Structure 1
Amino acid sequence: MKIVCTACGKAHKTNAKLETSLKSLQPGSSLRMKCLQCGEQIVLGRELLGKAASSSGQQTAQPFVAKRIKPPEPPDTSWLEDGIFEEDEIVSDIPQSMVLMPEGPGREQVVKALTGLGYRAETAMDTNHALERMQFFNYSSIVLHSGFTGDRLADNEFHRFMCAMNMARRRYIFYVLIGSEFKTFYNIQALAESANLVVNEKDTPYFGVILRKSIPDYEELFGPYMEELKVQRK
């Protein structure tokens, strides 16, 4: 027999002592026990014994086997070469961005795109340099290449730092991951890596177009929420 807290849904197992106490209850009387999870009081009556007997007489249900869910396909990015989309907003008032990418044409393209959109873009020499900068500056955007340190992304010290960051600060940073393993605009990959956007490295020539599409969408979705948090001083 299980007792379920109506406040939080926590299921509690009963014991012989509790069942004996329930059987000895007078009609209309009840027992109270404290939920181990939320601390709310759970009211117990003799009717619980009747429910337990009824459920024990039913046929044992077959175990539930979860079906494999196929994730949606990544979005079509064929329009990137033309750079045509409905642009409703202009990115502005975003002061600083930090780029953590190996030196090369890809990094130059990303920095150029960020600068063209009004960012004050800077590059990090290594992970320690980037972490040190994070102590003194509030960046509105951070771009990290998955191969920046040569390690797997899961082992990247800066990426772990971003994933563990307090949400009071993290929610104001537009975090972009670039790498050959990513599919541009694929939000499921971004969510799995605690990022706001993922970009395949072959699409870095279109990075400016990608940001002009992504940042307004991000601000439209989260802007009102973050403004309310500012009002509430959270």
Structure 2
Amino acid sequence: MSQQNYRGMDFEHYTEGFMDSLVCDDNQSNLKIISETLKDLKCNVVVSPDLENAFDRIRYNQFDVLVLNETFGGGDPEKNELLETYQTMPINNRRRIFLALIGTNFKTLDNMTAYIKSVNVVININDLPNLKVILTKAISENDQFYKVFKGVLTELGKT
């Protein structure tokens, strides 16, 4: 599926009209579930094999959806470098990205935890079999929440 290679990154084929998504999870069985779900939700799926690759990807691409396991890159869930990057990103850039955080200690769809972690949705790892329903609901709610705001920004020419 790769078309060319630049700095060790393969550029996948993208389908126009689909959301662009980045998946960051070290577990192969999780990757399969997440990737298939995102494809079902009409997303172009890019899987990042490691933290360095993920940082290169976000440096050169604007992703609509990011699915991140809290332990991606072998780090401490409380000190995930990629999550910290998104938590400190300027808000005008951050709100364009739907960020789903997967972990073992979350209650799926817990809005308070999502708010504390500065993500759009938290998902317990045990709920991955229901990922399509969870992401459909969460992305829809996010789109609805920001619809008016994004419309005003578009009218003002600030998008």
TM-score (norm 1): 0.59
**Partner residue of 1:113 out of 37, 40, 44:** 37
Structure 1 residue 189: Cα displacement:
0.4
Q: Percent identity, please.
A: 27
Which consecutive segments of 4 or more residues in structure 1 shift more than 3 A?
none
Structure 1 residue 94: Cα displacement:
4.2
**Partner residue of 1:201 out of 125, 130, 133:** 125
How do residues 3-22 of structure 1 correspond to structure 2 at under 5 angstroms? none
| Structure 1 partner of 2:3 | none
How do residues 132-151 of structure 1 correspond to structure 2 at under 5 angstroms? 132-151=56-75
Structure 1 residue 169: Cα displacement:
1.2
Unaligned runs of 5+ in 2: 1-16
Structure that is richer in helix per residue: 2
| Structure 2 partner of 1:9 | none
| Structure 1 partner of 2:153 | 229
Structure 1 residue 154: Cα displacement:
2.8
RMSD between aligned alpha carbons?
1.4
Letter in structure 1 aligned against 2:90: N
Measure the CA separation in 2 of the matches of 1:187 and 1:98: 22
Matched, 1:190 2:114: yes
Structure 1 residue 226: Cα displacement:
1.3
Unaligned runs of 5+ in 1: 1-92
**Partner residue of 1:176 out of 97, 100, 108:** 100
How do residues 46-125 of structure 1 correspond to structure 2 at under 5 angstroms? 93-125=17-49
| Structure 1 partner of 2:12 | none
Letter in structure 1 aligned against 2:63: Y
Measure the CA separation in 2 of the matches of 1:126 and 1:231: 39
TM-score (norm 2): 0.85
Residue aligned with 1:161, SS = helix
Do the aligned partners of 1:176 and 1:195 also contact (CA within 8 Å) in 2? yes
1:74-98: CA deviation from partner (whole Å, max 9, x where unpaired): xxxxxxxxxxxxxxxxxxx442100
Do the aligned partners of 1:177 and 1:195 also contact (CA within 8 Å) in 2? yes
Letter in structure 1 aligned against 2:117: E
**Larger relative CO (CA 8 A, sep 6+): 1 or 2?**
2
Q: How many residues align?
A: 143
